[in-house]
Structure 1
Amino acid sequence: MEVVMNGVSFNRDICSKMTRKQFLSAHENVFFLDRDIEDRRKILMDVYSIIKGKLVTEEGLS
């Protein structure tokens, strides 16, 4: 199963095994490069929240 955000597909099974930091590190310099890093992280945090099925905060990302 996959999650699609703005035309980018994320494998739910693989991504759900990652921590928040692992997920961001693996994706923030690969997808949505037309946006600044803060916007990319917000989008990715939304995706990660959907995958994990809960609200995930941005605390500790800097």
Structure 2
Amino acid sequence: MTAAARLPFRQSHPLRSPDDLLALQGAGPIHKVLTAVGDEAWLVTGYSLVRSLMDNPRAC
């Protein structure tokens, strides 16, 4: 298992997605990450998956 990615991701350009985010999106839709203060969290990528998660009352 790989280490959790740490947020926030560094951006090389303000109008481009960070390279680390693009790599995670290519590897799958759900990833464990560490927040800026070191807390564990889940990062969900992809519009349809995020939309279905936000529409699910059990997820809130």
Q: Counting helix residues as a fraction of each chain, which structure ranks higher? A: 1
Asked if these proteins are the same fold (TM beyond 0.5), I'd say no
Q: Counting strand residues as a fraction of each chain, which structure ranks higher? A: 2
TM normalised by structure 2 equals: 0.28
Larger radius of gyration: 2
TM normalised by structure 1 equals: 0.27
